[in-house]
Structure 1
């Protein structure tokens, strides 16, 4: 047994509203890792519909790691939703052209209207129902985003955040344990190694997991 096939769309045959997300994505600027799932109350195709203001000409990407759990109604606001705030008017005159493009003064759209860069979700992240992730945010490995949160700034590894705007509630583990987990990077192991150690991955015994990982070799998927 090597666990479920990460290349299948519906890993639970009788639950068609849960998908391994990478197999549903059609946009080249959305990148999703293995085993990350999305569970939607109505239709998993809602995921791409809820990646908002994501215009290819801006070039920003949504990057999601391996083994993430994303609940229904999660929204990602991308850089295309931004407007200038320094001018007297926030109206995006240039996108309508017909003479109004003169305000760009030769700048690209990204230069004119600004970008906060890619939105990056680490590995083993749980994003609760209805959360909203703002552009350019980086969510660390092992983090938990509480239901209906609005994440406006980076989230540390293994942090639990909640609220609007989302604030740190607590860290799941102490800093030394977090460093050890990041060093293990179990989310990059191959399926056979994960299967051999799945009980320890679902335990609280990090010492045993480190020992088993060392004993079973360092085979990883990059």
Structure 2
């Protein structure tokens, strides 16, 4: 068995090969501590993974979009397309093959916003958006969209708090930090690693 340690991680842009997974930038990572890595252990496609990539799908395959600087802790599960054949509005939940196309209800694409953090063993259900800078607590089950710069926890996950005051969140969103050129991001990184919004504003003006 390959030796595992907390220091081990995978940069997603280096390991993801699935054409249905879209990675922005080069900084998002998965803490590859105990399992077989991001594509094999975290992403759960019934249809749409590499094993079935040569089969013609019966429906649109949900896409996974991952922003830059996304932190994904060990044993997170991201449930994706092809798993939605249990109809709660039908008398019988069983996915009979002769009615498999009628039973399928796609949930849409899943989005992990720039700079978000998924805690250990969190589960992200299909079709949700985790906003920029949001935190999903360990062991949470996310069934609905998570607002930017919020903290959610529980099963189902509910908002515990916002990380900053609303006006600061609005300002951070308007700055579009994670789309800055790398040189600008690196030059202002010191101010991003803090909570002084006035200092960040001044640094941006000085840089410009």
TM-score, normalised on structure 1?
A: 0.80
Of 182-191 and 119-128, deviating more is 182-191
| Between 50-59 and 114-123, the greater mean CA deviation after superposition | 50-59
1:87 to 84, 87, 90: 90
Map 1:106-121 onto structure 2 (within 5 A). 109=101, 112-121=103-112
Cα deviation, 1:5-61, whole Å, max 9, x if unaligned, reads xxxxxxxxx987212112110101011222111112135624443211342333211
Alignment correspondent of 2:183: 192
Contact 1:184-1:210 within 8 A present in 2 as well: no
1:35-46 correspondence to structure 2 within 5 Å: 35-43=27-35, 45-46=37-38
The answer as to 2:131 corresponding to 1:140 is yes
CA distance in 1, matches of 2:6, 2:24: 21
Instruction: Tell me, in whole angstroms, the C-alpha distance in 2 between the residues paired with 1:44 and 1:36.
Output: 18
State the number of aligned residues.
192
**Matches of residues 162-201 of structure 1 in structure 2 within 5 Å?**
162-201=153-192
Partners of 2:131 and 2:170 lie apart in 1 by: 12
- List alignment gaps of at least 5 residues for structure 2: 49-56
Any conservation in 1 of the 2:23–2:67 contact (CA below 8 Å)? yes
Deviation at 1:92, TM superposition (A): 1.7
SS of 1:170's equivalent in the other structure is strand
Worse-superposed segment, 136-145 or 185-194: 185-194
Mark the runs of 5 or more structure 1 residues left unpaired by the alignment.
1-13, 95-99, 218-222
Q: Does 1:60 align with 2:62?
A: yes
**Which SS does the other structure have where 2:120 is aligned?**
coil
* Cα distance in 2, alignment partners of residues 113 and 211 from structure 1: 52
Secondary structure at the counterpart of residue 17 of structure 2 = coil
Scaled by the length of structure 2, the TM-score of the pair is 0.85
Match of 1:215 in 2: 206
Is 1:72 paired with 2:55? no
How many angstroms apart in 1 are the aligned matches of 2:126 and 2:91?
23
- CA radius of gyration, larger in: 1
Q: Does the aligned pair in 2 maintain the 1:130–1:148 contact within 8 Å?
A: yes
RMSD: 2.0
Asked whether the 8 Å contact 2:6–2:31 carries over to 1, the reply is no
